[in-house]
Amino acid sequence: MVVRVAKTAGFCFGVKRAVSMVYEAAEKYPGRVYTMGPIIHNEQVVEDLAEKGVRVIDDSLLDEETGEAPPAGSVVIVRSHGISREMTERLGESGYKVITATCPFVSKIHDIAAKKSAEGYSILIVGNPGHPEVQGIRGWAGEPCAVVENAEQARALSLPKERPVWMVAQTTFQVDKFEELVEIVKGMGYSVRVTNTICNATKERQTESKELAGISDTMLVIGGKHSSNTQKLYEICSSMCERTYYIQSPEDLESVVLHSDSCIGITAGASTPNTIIQEVLSNVRGTEL
């Protein structure tokens, strides 16, 4: 059995930075730390932080478990996905100590959306409309603004034709699909300007995963079930390797049949801790005959 692990698998810069900030805050402000939504889309990390006293609040600034507002003196951390301008202002007026862990690459998109909207452009965001990163970007864009995720939505776009369009992308969107949607919108008669805001780590991870899947008999994609970037990796790998499995932890390997003469490829989403990748790797190697 040959087992290869993608070099780009696991935490990206923005996620690693955000998680580190929460752990540091949990130690510095014990029992007082809250995050705006789960800090990352990984259940194991969120559960570990909960054991250290970190709680999660929703967009109403209420504890997701109790429905109560955090007490005065609490510390609220903005996660790597970022939040809208309105939510940023609400937090600033809340009286809580606010720590911003928004990924710098996401903050850059906020700046682009706000600036270009003020200059008279319609903002078109390419990404998952239900994802917190996209919702945060949407909250900085002003009007007119639209979000598209696929070709069908792009062809149904109804932004005013008299205004130029500025296109940006969710940082973890699939590169080739973004390029496809840009061409579709350009072909609809809009005056289009584009800033490709897919982060380099995402591009490198997608490219390496595609190449690895192309030379593997079986591909394992590790990540949380709510992780958008892991889902994109799974789609890419599935297109290259028929036996591609989406797993969250070593326990999920029970449903995967591995053979002694197989070539196994392993990649992981940006919110997957290295400890889980190593556990999966150890379990896979433990099946060698």
Map out the domains of the chain as residue ranges.
2-10+200-285, 13-103, 105-194
Q: Which fold has domain 13-103?
A: Rossmann fold (3.40.50)
Question: What pLDDT is recorded for position 41?
Answer: 83
Residue 286: pLDDT band with limits 50, 70, 90: confident
Domains 2-10+200-285 and 105-194 share a fold: yes
With beta carbons less than 8 A apart as the criterion, state whether 214 and 259 touch. Answer: no
Q: Within a 10 A sphere around the Cβ of 61, how many other Cβ atoms?
A: 17
Is 133 one of the catalytic residues? yes
pLDDT of 120 reads 97
Write out pLDDT tens, residues 212-254: 999 999 999 999 888 888 999 999 999 999 999 999 988 998 8
Across 33-42, 67-76, 129-138, least confident range: 33-42
- Looking at the predicted structure, is the pLDDT value of residue 263 above 50? yes
Query: Over the stretch 53-63, which tens digit does the pLDDT of each residue have?
Result: 999 999 899 99
3-state DSSP call for residue 263?
strand
Cα separation, 186 vs 75, in Å, equals 45
> Does residue 267 sit in helix, strand or coil?
strand
CATH architecture of residue range(s) 2-10+200-285 = 3-Layer(aba) Sandwich (3.40)
Give pTM, 2 decimals.
0.87
Q: CA 71 from chain center: how many Å?
A: 30
Catalytic residue among 27, 68, 93, 133: 133
CATH topology of domain 105-194: Cobalt-precorrin-4 Transmethylase; domain 1 (3.40.1010)
**Distance between CA 230 and CA 236 in Å, rounded?**
10
Q: Is the pLDDT of residue 259 over 80?
A: no
Q: How confident is the model at residue 287 (pLDDT cuts 50, 70, 90)?
A: low
**DSSP-assigned letters across all residues of 211-248:** HHHHT-SEEEEE--TT-HHHHHHHHHHHHH-SSEEEES
Per-residue tokens: 81: 């996905």
* pLDDT at residue 288 tops 70: no
